[in-house]
Structure 1
Amino acid sequence: MSDRLIYLPLGGSGEIGMNAYVYGYGPADNERLILVDIGVAFSDMETSPGVDLIFADIRWLEENKHRLEAVFITHGHEDHIGAVGHYWSKLEVPVYARAFTAHLARHKMTDRGQPEEMVRTVSPWPEVTEVGPFKVGFLPVSHSIPESAALVIDSPAGRVIHSGDFKLDETPLVGEPFDPALWAEVSKDGVKALICDSTNVFSPHAGRSEASVGPEIEALVSAAPNMVVATTFASNVARVKTLAEAGDRAGRSICLMGRAMRRMIEAAIQTGVLDSFPKVVSPEDAATIPRENLMLLVTGSQGEHRAASAQLARGKYNGIKLKEGDLFLFSSKTIPGNEKGVIRIINQFSEMGVDVVDDSSGKYHVSGHANRPDLARMHEIVNPTMVIPNHGEHRHLREHAKLANASGRASIVAVNGTMLDLTGDQPSIAGYVETGRTYLDGSAQIGALDGIVRDRLRMAMNGHVIVTILLDEDDEPLGEAWCELMGLPEIGRSQAPLVDVLEEDVTQYLGRAKEKTLSDDDKLEGDIRRIVRNSARDEIGKKPEVTVIVSRLS
């Protein structure tokens, strides 16, 4: 049987978040494997209430972990690195990353009680790591977090470049600039496939450099008469530095608020990504500084409920409260799905009289992802035989495939679970594996099909009734049924208390029930559940979730 080169997304294709991509080489169904990235997505109250994090379903990889050689992490964003500590014990292979990313990965391993020494620091291209049939090198690329890298993946079937998240920024301020000559050199002997970021394929204009943001921010901060607060992604070290330097040049003391922001800056300094950063003051000292001389850099650019931005919007944080005439800057783009949380914060600040500036003008934020013209330029530089879009919803992948086809390059849309054979000159579908999601719910990992989140959604939408009945040794009811209501109106259409209506209907049923029914718990629970749901529907127009407790004296 001939060997083949396969690509299998388990997360991150057909969605944005929880990236996890498998590459394999060898005999069909017995390939040696590597995993690129192992990230998370974040929950929302509409689809996953109470859930802390969402992971890709890696059961297929667990079942084949005896074939897995290593994990390679392209950069330190949560959607690429966030699950490394949670999932390492299921995979038990070395994790390779560049210094800054490795620093973050070790923290995540330690936080979950996993061995941090399994995270191995590698140098950028031309250094390569040999694992099984693969040679893997980290090719520097600019993005919105330091030391981002594409992966050059060599196998006997040819060279593949996995772009990771990237933009074509030749003046990124922090981290390496995009080097088209280096990319051309790496690609000159032929690239079989470019697996490529699709996030901004619908953005028609070439991306702007990080360097273009600084002057605009500095002008805004310098003109502000009172306290200035700014938020951005904590991982965007270049932007945090730009904000801090703008405040410093305006004569303001700088205070970092939020654990994630402090941790990122500390990691950047410890790993040499940052060689300087303006002096910062503690939150305690910040509370004593005149407002017009203070600038806070805070977490919570996406409206996160517990982050510093949201807490300031609700009142105060670390002893500091915003007042009328203060300025709050969102130096970030709102990720689709987070609009409600961000708008809520903006309105709360507005009620305080705080002036809020967002990115609607385009002055104070630039994306970390390549726009459509940048993707076309990347295709030309690398000149791959085929382009496989990843990192995007289905519409992004399909549009990116069209862009590749327009320049004569083979392409195909592969969503999560679609295994591609990249061995020839045309990508082909080699099969499908079952994929989905798993949830971190508190400290427990649960499956998307376990029914837990589904039940939680049903209770949130429909309310809950607990019905308790008591039967004696002869299976006769002792007294009336009693009900407890949660999340339901007290009064229904009959203008009687809903709890009284439900208890009366259940008690009447018990009075009519035959001896055989009263001795059968399953029959009782089913009948009572149906009666309560139907009675509630008649009274309030909803059929709540019902729990029936049958207690017997014996």
Structure 2
Amino acid sequence: MNMNLYGHAGQWLMIDCGVSFDEQLQADDELAVRHEVVAADPRFMVDNRDLLAGLIITHAHEDHIGAVEDLWPRLRCPIYTTPYTAAVLRRKLAYTDFADQVTIIEVNDRGQQTIGPFRVTWLRLTHSLPDPYGLLIETPVARVVHTGDWKIDRDPVLGAPIDGAALQRLAEQPIDALIGDSTNALKPGWSVSEGECFAGLLAQTQQAKGRVVVGCFSSNIARLVTLAKVAARSGRRLAVFGRSLERHVATARAFGLWPDELELIHYGHVGYLPPAEVMVVATGCQGEPRAALSRLANDRHPMLALDKGDTVLLSAMVIPGNEAHVQALVQKFTARGIAVVQKEDTELPIHASGHPNEEELKQMYRWLQPQLVIPTHGEPEHLVRHADIAREVGVRRTLTGQNGDLFRIAPVPSLRRKAVRTGRIPLAR
């Protein structure tokens, strides 16, 4: 999950406010308790709420946006984001009793906002959902790029490829620091483009004799569009199982991102079709116990019962920590004679990560030429490797730390360990 703070001139700017799932938390000498949803402890900012200038949401993934509906009453600051992400956020806030109190300020591509002492410019990038943005954060003493989640995708299916020339132009004035995504820093080469998934998903679907059920992330509209095209090409009818999928498809339609010629059928009709004409996209690709995939695996879904000879495609990565849940899901399907295909089982890709591999990180640093790189968003080994990659392409300085550390960017870069108390808190859902 993500929650970052930038401080200058006595004020703070928060970037993202996300959640994580299914974690064990331990308080002092008590036994660890497993919680379905957790967030970063916002205590430091709550204690200094009068110094919080605003909250920016970079994109609509749950690890960046998911805690807003729980934590905003403690923060009570304006929220800045782009139109698609704002629509997703408004849908989430609609279930709260304070939605009409939240000020959401929409910013367009290359838009600028002055938020307290910070001048912020939105930088269009590519990722695994619509409307992903990095940020150029400027103060009188430093220019900082905060990438958020990103990759260099030459065929993103929806939207334009990443604009390298526009990023290069940013470097006409020195970039003092880049704070960036480390998720795939251990992976060599370039990540798979989203557009490359069509051939692999089509091949697997055409080989299947019975029903095809696909597990993927609900927010990945490009993947859903690809699956709709695969269904049309292979003579199948497509339906989605799960409220989050329904909400994301509805938002995509509202923004003109869903092609009119790609038909979705009502989930209630799926059980009446011949198996060879069925494709279902279901929530729960990480093994979440209450999601549609788990209900299908347990043969307890009210709309569909799978049979021997059907196929489940897991078109997603396994998020670290979820391995046991996904394996249990796979075992339940295979025990019933239902084939399960994961991304490592196929010659052609059926999943594309939304994060940059090693060569993409190097390319970003060649474009922006930052003076300092601060790796974030990864385990310690990812952060260390990310720092090494930056130095390999000529970045003069890197700083690697942990949650609660204070990174001073200007006038002299330095690192103060454990400057702020941090932790994780459970959220009641």
Same fold (TM over 0.5): yes
Distance 2:4 2:415 in 1: 17
User: Residues 62-91 of structure 1, C-alpha deviation per residue, up to 9 Å, x if partnerless?
Assistant: 111111111001000111000111111111
Determine whether 1:302 maps to 2:281: no
Q: Is this contact kept in 2: 1:169–1:178, CA < 8 A?
A: yes
Residue of 390, 406, 412 corresponding to 2:399: 412
How far 1:375 sits from its partner (Å)?
Answer: 0.7
Count of residues in Structure 1 that have an aligned counterpart in Structure 2: 420
How far 1:373 sits from its partner (Å)?
Answer: 1.4
Distance 2:303 2:191 in 1: 40
Residue of 121, 131, 155 corresponding to 2:106: 121
Distance 1:218 1:70 in 2: 45
Distance 2:96 2:305 in 1: 35
Report the counterpart of residue 11 of structure 2 in structure 1.
Answer: 32
Counterpart of 1:64, as a letter, is N
**Counterpart secondary structure, 2:192:** coil
Distance 1:287 1:20 in 2: 43
Report the counterpart of residue 411 of structure 2 in structure 1.
Answer: 424
User: Residues 146-193 of structure 1, C-alpha deviation per residue, up to 9 Å, x if partnerless?
Assistant: 100001111111211100000110210013321111111122222111
Aligned alpha-carbon RMSD (Å) = 1.7
How far 1:98 sits from its partner (Å)?
Answer: 0.7
Report the counterpart of residue 264 of structure 2 in structure 1.
Answer: 280
Q: Is this contact kept in 2: 1:421–1:430, CA < 8 A?
A: no
Q: Is this contact kept in 2: 1:316–1:322, CA < 8 A?
A: no
Report the counterpart of residue 98 of structure 1 in structure 2.
Answer: 82
Determine whether 1:340 maps to 2:327: no
Report the counterpart of residue 437 of structure 1 in structure 2.
Answer: 424
Counterpart of 1:163, as a letter, is T
Q: Is this contact kept in 1: 2:150–2:181, CA < 8 A?
A: yes
How far 1:46 sits from its partner (Å)?
Answer: 9.1
Report the counterpart of residue 186 of structure 2 in structure 1.
Answer: 202
Counterpart of 1:429, as a letter, is R
Determine whether 1:371 maps to 2:357: yes
Q: Is this contact kept in 1: 2:19–2:64, CA < 8 A?
A: yes
How far 1:361 sits from its partner (Å)?
Answer: 3.5
Report the counterpart of residue 382 of structure 1 in structure 2.
Answer: 368
Counterpart of 1:368, as a letter, is G
How far 1:427 sits from its partner (Å)?
Answer: 3.7
- Equivalences for 1:33-72 in 2 at 5 Å? 33-44=12-23, 49-72=33-56
Residue of 6, 9, 23 corresponding to 2:6: 23
Determine whether 1:169 maps to 2:156: no
Q: Is this contact kept in 2: 1:136–1:153, CA < 8 A?
A: yes
Report the counterpart of residue 380 of structure 2 in structure 1.
Answer: 394
Q: Is this contact kept in 2: 1:41–1:79, CA < 8 A?
A: yes
Q: Is this contact kept in 2: 1:386–1:425, CA < 8 A?
A: no
Report the counterpart of residue 13 of structure 1 in structure 2.
Answer: none
How far 1:344 sits from its partner (Å)?
Answer: 1.2
Counterpart of 1:413, as a letter, is T
Larger RCO of the pair (alpha carbons < 8 Å, separation 6+): 2
Counterpart of 2:55, as a letter, is V
Determine whether 1:266 maps to 2:245: no
Any stretches of 5+ residues in structure 2 without a counterpart?
27-31
Q: Which deviates the most, 76-85 or 403-412?
A: 403-412
How far 1:319 sits from its partner (Å)?
Answer: 2.8
Determine whether 1:144 maps to 2:123: no
Distance 1:46 1:134 in 2: 35
Q: Is this contact kept in 2: 1:142–1:167, CA < 8 A?
A: yes
Distance 1:104 1:25 in 2: 30
User: Residues 425-479 of structure 1, C-alpha deviation per residue, up to 9 Å, x if partnerless?
Assistant: 5344387011111112x46xxxxxxxxxxxxxxxxxxxxxxxxxxxxxxxxxxxx
User: Residues 186-225 of structure 1, C-alpha deviation per residue, up to 9 Å, x if partnerless?
Assistant: 2222211100101111001211211111111112212222
Distance 1:416 1:232 in 2: 30
Distance 1:293 1:430 in 2: 58
Report the counterpart of residue 219 of structure 1 in structure 2.
Answer: 203
Distance 1:403 1:425 in 2: 22
Report the counterpart of residue 169 of structure 2 in structure 1.
Answer: 185
Distance 2:170 2:260 in 1: 32
**Counterpart secondary structure, 1:317:** coil
Counterpart of 2:19, as a letter, is V
Task: State the identity %.
Answer: 33
Counterpart of 1:134, as a letter, is F
Counterpart of 2:324, as a letter, is K
